[in-house]
A and B are shown apart, each in its own frame.
Chain A
């Protein structure tokens, strides 16, 4: 891991999970940072069914945190864990802000 890479795992706490509105809030905030941001589901211990943020072989899928389509495809329901990684000058601030947004339940 380079010194400008930061990673944090957070739990989705809002009742409806990462539906379109929270996902839009997430990518809007992510886009304010210069760092490249990827998000994956952190609950990779089980082989997830396709359609729950996994690739065809069931491995965790990493999506671009600035892409709403990507973030929506994680289909992160309440209680699921997301790993947010950022790489770049402002990586620390980015993971801090994004993890905080998820942890606060997107103000829902």
Chain B
């Protein structure tokens, strides 16, 4: 799925963009931005337009504008038209540079909006780059609850009524932090990180069966909440099933795929008397230890093998 946003949403008057001056107010802002990052057209102005990516914002800095100033007006016009014909959604001119009228004529004729910013090229990259990444990132929504437990993002999944919210409530009471209840909006950062957050309307409310909707921020204070968190472990809460085999050693880790990122997944069977809060804290601590290279089941198993075979050389765990 290729995400797309309009120029309006990214740079329009309502957008949280750095202050921009719209030099072509007559041009509609409905063009789609489909590529992250901002590109400096550079060589494309000299005629080599093959590398211009459709749907990417073009940034005109000192280099581009001073090069254009060396050209006669008709050349400025047709060279820009050649660039604008490559699916350019909008143009930003940096450093408050002067924009000559042939430039604006070409843009208006091609239906490309031109903005001007007082910021330098590098500052514009910094101001708009992360927002573009965020808006264009692959996203999905997951039925589950997300909490920050000892700094580890645990995503609780499982059937309705299994007790995901109750588990998170127990964690919040123990000083951990709620990110999202029941509906987690997930987006990918780069190729290997997935981040979850709540829908804006949720605002740290959750539903507890039998009580109804509660406001966790009012009840437990701001320290019980977190706006977004990287998802590091999926905790799949399941009704206890005698017929199912659960992991008994932890030697093998099951992984699950979210937006193309592999995340460890643990299936936790629940029956009356199980304390999912305590189990969740242990899962988080286990992950913290894993980050430090401590693998408790393997270490335990190695010690056991050495005790059984004192003369053997170390053997691979998967033999």
Contacts and interface: CB of A to CB of B under 8 A. Distances in A.
A55 B143 contact: no
A55 B139 contact: yes
Interface string B114-151: 00000000000000000000111101110100000000
Interface in A46-65: 47, 50-51, 55-59, 61-64
B200 interface: yes
Contacts of A67: 143, 160, 182-183, 207
A107 B239 CA distance: 35
B185 interface: yes
A25 to B, nearest CB: 14
Interface stretch (A69-77, A79-87, A98-106): A69-77
Contacts of B134: 56
Interface in A19-53: 20, 31, 47, 50-51
Contact of B5 (A58, A64, A68): A58
Contacts of B137: 56-57
Interface in B150-199: 160-161, 181-183, 185, 187, 199
Contacts of A51: 199-201
Given A31-B160, A55-B140, A57-B137, A50 B200 contact: yes
Contact of A66 (B135, B160, B185, B202): B160
B207 A47 contact: no
Contact of B139 (A20, A56, A64, A72): A56
A70 B205 CA distance: 11
B9 interface: yes
Contacts of B9: 47, 58
Contacts of B6: 47
Contacts of A72: 201
B206 interface: yes
Contacts of A69: 181-183, 202, 205-207
A39 to B, nearest CB: 11
B187 to A, nearest CB: 6
B3 interface: yes
A70 B200 contact: no
Given A31-B160, A57-B5, A69-B206, A63 B187 contact: no
A73 B213 CA distance: 13
B205 A55 contact: no
Most buried by B among A20, A31, A62, A69: A69
A81 B282 CA distance: 44
Contact of A20 (B140, B185, B213): B213
Nearest to B143: A64
28 contacts: A20-B213, A31-B160, A47-B9, A51-B201, A55-B139, A55-B140, A55-B185, A56-B135, A56-B185, A57-B4, A57-B135, A57-B136, A58-B5, A58-B9, A59-B139, A62-B141, A63-B141, A64-B182, A66-B160, A67-B143, A67-B182, A68-B207, A68-B213, A69-B202, A69-B205, A70-B183, A72-B201, A73-B202
Given A68-B207, A70-B183, 7 more contacts: A31-B160, A51-B201, A56-B187, A59-B1, A62-B141, A69-B181, A69-B182
